[in-house]
Amino acid sequence: DAGVTQSPTHLIKTRGQQVTLRCSPISGHKSVSWYQQVLGQGPQFIFQYYEKEERGRGNFPDRFSARQFPNYSSELNVNALLLGDSALYLCASSLEGAGGVTGETQYFGPGTRLLVL
């Protein structure tokens, strides 16, 4: 079975540009979450989406936005890139979010490494 996939694997942008990262969840998973991991730290929660609705948002500026499509894939957009946005962006999928089911195992994709120059 295919795991969580993300594209692209690597990306180089300059300050002020915009970037779109993509994620496809495990088949059957309806919940997608995005995390940012800067060097030397643990991943930090950015967003969670379920059935195309935002279910949670971390402490990130409005330059960060996301959406989920009918096939449950998701995009993360970051506008007006700053040097500090350089990080590994991770996507996770899970079964949770449906019918009160929560706390299920989350599975992570390989990530997208973003470098902002």
Task: By CB under 8 A, name the binding residues for another protein.
Answer: 31, 33, 35, 37, 41-45, 48, 50, 55-56, 58, 88, 90, 92, 94, 96-97, 102-108, 110-111, 113
Nearer to another protein, 80 or 98 (CB): 98
CB of 57 to another protein, least distance (A): 8
10 Å Cβ neighbour count for 110? 14
d(CA 88, CA 79) in angstroms, rounded, equals 16
CA pair distance 74, 89, nearest whole angstrom: 13
Q: Cα 78 vs. chain centroid, distance in angstroms?
A: 11
The CB-of-67 to another protein minimum distance in angstroms stands at 16
